[in-house]
């Protein structure tokens, strides 16, 4: 069985998250009616249409009322598109570059060259796996130092050839293992932040799933930062926050709802520059539409940033992050 077949098997075995189950029950009935219709002379088109409309309305009702914890589940959805899924559609000539030239390659981060709508770009993105084997190979999307140093190498390559950088963020966080610490995990992240702050080319970042702490920010110090509608961006996971403040992971839902981690909340706080709409029911339900929305936003923003000088790009980036947050004084 090849990797595509394994992924298809995973899709067929997928079980909906709790709030999706009423929708999936209706969709299952639709499939049953289609099977009956195909195997007989019965005309069930009208009944199928009624169920489709009912499914669509129920999806709208559910997704209009999602709380932060439910959005966290969507951000980690097992069928949610990853970086390489998007690149197949928005950058079909993507050429991957491997290795940090110091220690090794890291499959948790993909880097390379390509064109998005005829705009030459350098692309960097976190990458998770679909199967257990793929997730182990990609360390569940948690980069080690060599991943961030690979990203750094490609960033400097982009500056050398005056190419804009597009990054896709989707990680629980940087890998906290002993081997990563021994090879300088914190230094690799800090070095990336330092270098990104001074790069003389446009940088756009999109949080497509999880934006976990420094592991996300290490490729996210950009001129423009966007989030997909059902992604999250935070300094710690809801489970981690619950363990620290409530001393129990069962309080993760309460933590998520208190942390301001959703795209709309972070837009209100001016941490990000915009929210990219997802298809009804989430990005995993219509990859083509999601990729189209993503591509349109990237092209639009690259055209705007391309009009700025190198000095203005650096100044814009530094001022953007320096202005985040509100500071008060007791004096």
Query: Which tens digit of pLDDT belongs to each residue from 133-191?
Result: 999 999 999 999 999 999 999 999 999 999 999 999 999 999 999 999 999 999 999 99
Taking a C-beta distance cutoff of 8 angstroms, is the pair 151, 123 a contact? Answer: no
What are the boundaries of each domain within the chain? Answer: 17-65, 73-322
Q: Which two tokens stand for residue 80?
A: 């949610």
The answer to whether 91 touches 121, Cβ cutoff 8 Å, is: yes
Q: Which of 174, 159, 87, 93 is nearest to 124 (CA)?
A: 87
Q: What is the pTM of this model?
A: 0.89
Q: For residue 255, give every residue at least 6 positions away whose Cβ sits within 8 Å of its Cβ, in sequence order, or none.
A: 238, 239, 241, 242, 245, 246
Q: Which CATH number applies to 73-322: 3.40.50.2300, 3.90.226.10, 3.30.450.20, 3.40.50.300?
A: 3.90.226.10
Dihedral sign computed on CA atoms, order 16, 18, 20, 22: positive
What does the block give as tokens for 79?
Answer: 């069928």
pLDDT tens-place string over residues 248-261? 888 999 999 999 99
User: Per residue in 302-331, pLDDT tens?
Assistant: 999 999 999 999 999 999 999 888 766 666
Nearest to 253 by CA among 268, 265, 264, 241: 241
- Cβ(87)–Cβ(126) below 8 Å: no
Residue 234 has pLDDT above 90, yes or no: yes
């Amino acid at each position: 069985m090849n990797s595509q077949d394994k992924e298809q098997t995973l899709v067929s075995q997928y079980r909906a998250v709790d709030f999706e189950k009423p929708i999936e029950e209706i969709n299952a009935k639709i499939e049953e009616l289609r099977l009956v219709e195909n195997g007989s002379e019965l005309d069930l088109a009208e009944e199928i249409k009624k169920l489709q409309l009912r499914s669509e309305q129920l999806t709208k009702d559910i997704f209009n009322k999602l709380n932060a914890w439910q959005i966290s589940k969507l951000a980690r959805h097992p069928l949610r598109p990853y970086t390489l899924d998007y690149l197949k559609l928005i950058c079909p000539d993507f050429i991957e570059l491997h290795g940090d030239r110091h220690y090794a390659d890291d499959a948790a981060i993909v880097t390379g060259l390509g064109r998005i709508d005829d705009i030459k770009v350098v692309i960097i993105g976190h990458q998770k796996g679909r199967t257990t084997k793929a997730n182990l190979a990609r360390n569940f999307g948690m980069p080690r130092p060599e991943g961030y140093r690979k990203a750094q190498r490609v960033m400097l390559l982009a500056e050398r050839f005056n190419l804009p950088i597009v990054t896709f963020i989707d990680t629980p966080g940087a890998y906290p293992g002993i081997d990563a610490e021994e090879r300088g995990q914190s230094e690799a992240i800090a070095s990336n932040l330092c270098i990104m702050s001074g790069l003389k080319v446009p940088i756009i970042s999109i949080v497509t799933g999880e934006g976990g702490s420094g592991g996300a920010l290490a490729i996210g110090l950009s001129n423009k930062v966007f989030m997909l509608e059902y992604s999250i961006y935070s300094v710690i996971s809801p489970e981690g926050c619950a363990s620290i403040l409530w001393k129990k992971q069962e309080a993760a839902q309460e933590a998520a709802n208190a942390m301001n981690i959703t795209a709309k909340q972070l837009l209100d706080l001016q941490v990000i520059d915009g929210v990219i709409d997802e298809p009804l029911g989430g990005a995993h339900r219509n990859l083509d539409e999601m990729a189209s929305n993503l591509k349109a936003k990237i092209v639009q923003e690259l055209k705007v940033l391309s009009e700025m000088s190198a000095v203005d790009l650096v100044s814009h980036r530094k001022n953007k992050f320096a202005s985040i947050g509100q500071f008060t004084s007791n004096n």
